[in-house]
Amino acid sequence: MNPMVFGGVQCSRSTSSDLQPASCANCSGQAIWEKAEALKRLGGDEDLLRELCQIFLEESPRHLQKLREAIADADAQATMRAAHNLKGELGYLGAAGATQAAQELEDMGRQQTLSRAAEVFIFLERELASLHIALRNSDGASV
């Protein structure tokens, strides 16, 4: 495991103000997810955040699968919808890199230009994998 990835989320037992964003290899200086930011948005409700992470871990593979199929079928409309759904959830968790990738895919779907979609999808898939590991290892979810 790359300790860089978990730099931020490992210290989740400490107070949220101590939290530093974790950085990853793909996006320099950007966190996989901003736990502090997500927690702040939830009014500091740790239990709710834990529950939402759990839901995300269960739900996101389904969204990702839908997105994969939509891109494979060159279905712009379905790509837009699946990417849109993912974007919303990722945005809420403060997963900046993944959110940006989902946003790009949504835009591509809307503009019906899927030529670069597969490439962005691979990046998104990798970000999501890192996010899954980060979420599982943080206090935010217990699996």
Partner 1 sequence: MNIFQPGDGMELPLGNKSGLPNSVLIAEDDPIFRRILESWLQKWNFQVTAVENGLDAWKALQQENAPRLAILDWMMPGLDGIELCRKIRNQAQGAYKYLLLLTARGSKEDVVAGLEAGADDYLTKPFDANELRARVRAGKRILELQGELVKAHNELQFEAAHDHLTGLWNRGAIMDLLHRENQRSTRIGEPLGVIMADLDHFKQINDSYGHQTGDAVLREVAQRLLESVRNYDYVGRYGGEEFLTVLTACTASNLAITAERMRVYVSEKPVETGTGPIPVTISIGLAAHAGGPDLAREEELVRSADTALYTAKANGGNRVEHSPENLSTDPVPSGALR
* CA–CA distance, 35 with 58 (Å, rounded to integer): 18
Which is closer to partner 1, CB of 7 or CB of 81?
81
Q: Tokens representing 83? A: 């990417």
45 lies in the binding site for partner 1 (CB under 8 A): yes
Encoded one letter per residue, x for contact with partner 1 by CB under 8 A and - for no contact, window 82-101 reads --xx-xxx-xx---------
Which is closer to partner 1, CB of 51 or CB of 139?
51
Site stretch for partner 1 (CB under 8 A), options 3-11, 16-24, 52-60, 129-137: 52-60
Site stretch for partner 1 (CB under 8 A), options 9-17, 27-35, 46-54, 133-141: 46-54
Tell me, rounded to whole angstroms, the distance of Cα 20 from its chain centroid.
17
143 lies in the binding site for partner 1 (CB under 8 A): no
What is the DSSP-derived secondary structure letter of residue 21?
Answer: -
Which residues, in sequence order, are CB contacts of 73 under 8 Å at separation 6+?
A: none
Give the end-to-end CA distance of the chain in Å, rounded to a whole number.
Answer: 18
* CA–CA distance, 10 with 128 (Å, rounded to integer): 18
Select from 113, 120, 64 the least CA-distant residue to 90. Answer: 64
Which is closer to partner 1, CB of 59 or CB of 119?
59
Which is closer to partner 1, CB of 18 or CB of 59?
59
> Which residues contribute to the site for partner 1 (CB under 8 A)?
41-43, 45, 48, 51-52, 55-56, 59, 81, 84-85, 87-89, 91-92
